[in-house]
Amino acid sequence: KLVTGVQTCALPISGAFSSPSGRTKFTRAALRLFREYNVDGIDIDWEYPTIPGYPGHAYAPEDRVHFTQLLREMRRRFGKKYEISFAAGGFTRFVEEAVDWAKVVRYVDRINLMTYDLVSGASTQTGHHTPLFSNPSQQESADHCITMLKARNIPLGKLVIGAAFYARSWKEVSPERDGLYQSGEFQSFIPYRKFPALLADSSGFVQYRDETSKSAWSYNARQKVFATYDD
């Protein structure tokens, strides 16, 4: 949903940004908030234009054009005074399909890469959800995302790598490979502040590290629980 001033627009974001009037209404509301609260810009977190996102998330092929038109309208009204950024999926399908990179990059100051959740809660196999580099078992990674964007001539100075301040855990995971790339059932998020208590050695967790991906994980053989995270 979109919050515009004190009013809430109940349209899914795909529908709300599908018309010139919707894009203009949102942009004007953002400007009012900037001035009232003395903020310096906005980050658009649309998950996702054009492609599937959270189950039930509305999307359409036309989102790709509408996303560009939204950013263009915002830049036209904001001028150079206010910063514009957007959150971009750090995975292959987003880079290849979701937005028109050649057009949107001219309107934004930076692109915040969601280089996490690269193994999502919908997955029935464990993996690194926020790896720095790819490995033979997992292509998706921060480096893979940036390499794809570099090939599209996106200025590297506009890219911000996202870090995950939480773990994702799976249950009923086989001890083979210490739980990595094994079948399992997604269990929960674990906030970073709770790592010392919930992923403790005393609870049976052992930390491992993938030196190719430069990524850590923990596995509890007794509980058959696997956790992936940034360290």
Lowest mean pLDDT among 51-60, 72-81, 110-119, 220-229: 51-60
Amino acid making up residue 133: F
pLDDT in tens, 28-44: 999 999 999 999 999 99
* Per-residue pLDDT band at 3 (split at 50, 70, 90): very low
Q: What does the alpha-carbon distance between residue 5 and residue 30 come to, in Å, rounded to a whole number?
A: 8
pLDDT of residue 187: 96
Lowest mean pLDDT among 10-14, 28-32, 197-201, 214-218: 10-14
Residue 163 tokens, joined: 């870090």
Strands 159-161 and 166-171: unpaired
Q: Which H helix or E strand runs over 171? A: strand 166-171
The DSSP bridge partners found for residue 85 are 43, 110
* Per-residue pLDDT band at 6 (split at 50, 70, 90): very low
Q: What does the alpha-carbon distance between residue 117 and residue 145 come to, in Å, rounded to a whole number?
A: 13
pLDDT of residue 11: 66
What's the start-to-end Cα distance of the chain, in Å? 33
Contact 109, 156 (CB under 8 A): no
Residue 139 tokens, joined: 């292509």
DSSP calls for 43-106: EE--S-SSS--STT----TTHHHHHHHHHHHHHHHHTTTSEEEEEEE-SHHIIIIIS-HHHHGG
* Per-residue pLDDT band at 10 (split at 50, 70, 90): low
Q: What does the alpha-carbon distance between residue 166 and residue 109 come to, in Å, rounded to a whole number?
A: 27
pLDDT of residue 121: 86
Instruction: Tell me the CA distances in angstroms from 119 to 49, 138, 143, 186, one per residue in order.
Output: 20, 9, 15, 10
pLDDT in tens, 168-212: 999 999 999 999 999 999 999 999 999 999 999 999 999 999 999
Q: By percentage, how much of the chain surpasses pLDDT 70? A: 95
